[in-house]
Amino acid sequence: MLELRHSADRGLADHGWLHSRHTFSFGSYYDPEQSGFSDLLVINDDRVRPGRGFDTHGHCDMEIISYVLEGALEHKDSMGNGSIIRPGDVQVMSAGTGIRHSEFNASGEEPVHFLQIWIVPDREGVTPRYQQQHIAEADKRGRLRLIIAPDGADGALSVYQDARVYAGCFNGAEQQHFALPADRYAYVQVARGALTVNGERLAEGDGARLRNVRELEFGEGDNAEVLLFDLRAHELHYH
């Protein structure tokens, strides 16, 4: 079964400097029907004005992923990491026992657009860790490329959860067949553009829950960039 989550139905937080659409309940937006999916807790579609950002704040026991689509995101954290995250870059922070960080638009002229994703970890109290990797568009062109996996398989970044994340770019005749392992859920998020998934047309910002589906077909892309989450088959109840 494919259950669509239309872009326009997402939660909205507009703080002037930040425009954020929430796929799942987050902050002041709460919908009991949209409180995550499996171990996927948050997908925030964030646009930050030039020179603005999130001041230093803390997290613990959460896998936090940043996926930059446009612009440049400046990251600093309590582990001493400092970096600029650009389109094609993927960042994973395992917050564990606690981490403090800030995220700012690195440009004084251009906005930054990125997805912030939270996955609930399978263990608590780990030593915090930071990972960042650039995935070239050529590696995602017309295919789903593994970018995050529990064991860092095939050059992917690691998370403390039985979850895998794939990224793909599709345009025109490019298509991909994906066989989901047995007894798994999947979530699809269209980061930009539009494409068809199992006969359903998804536009930018749209998402879809997939339960009891083994075969996924991606195609008919219109400058599409998409994320696929391969998740445990269970219902998340996390508050």
The CATH number of the domain holding residue 54 is 2.60.120.10
Question: Beta strand pairing status for 144-149 and 157-158?
Answer: parallel
Instruction: Give tens-digit pLDDT for 51-92.
Output: 877 766 777 889 999 999 998 887 777 777 778 888 999 999
In this structure, is residue 238 part of a structural domain? no
Residue 58 resides in a domain: yes
For residues 9-35, average pLDDT: 93
Residue-number span of the structural domain to which 59 is assigned:
2-232
Q: Say how far apart CA 101 and CA 82 lie, in whole Å.
A: 10
Residues 157, 153: Cα–Cα separation, whole Å? 8
Would you say residue 27 lies in a domain? yes
- The answer to whether residue 237 sits within a structural domain is no
Q: Are 163 and 40 in contact (CB under 8 A)?
A: yes
- Per-residue pLDDT tens over the stretch 132-163: 999 999 999 999 999 999 988 888 999 999 99
Domains held by the chain: number: 1
The CA distance from 13 to 195, in Å, is 26
CA distances from 54 to 43, 61, 77, 91, 199 (A): 17, 19, 12, 16, 39
Confidence grade of residue 101 (pLDDT, cut at 50, 70, 90) = low
3-state secondary structure 15-61: CCCEEEEECCCECCECCHHHCCECCEEEEEEEEECCCCEEEEEEECC
> pLDDT for 158-217, tens place per residue?
999 999 999 999 999 999 999 999 999 999 999 999 999 999 999 999 999 999 999 999
Rank 30-34, 84-88, 225-229 by mean pLDDT and report only the highest. 225-229
Residue 7 belongs to a domain: yes
Instruction: Say if residue 10's pLDDT is above 90.
Output: yes
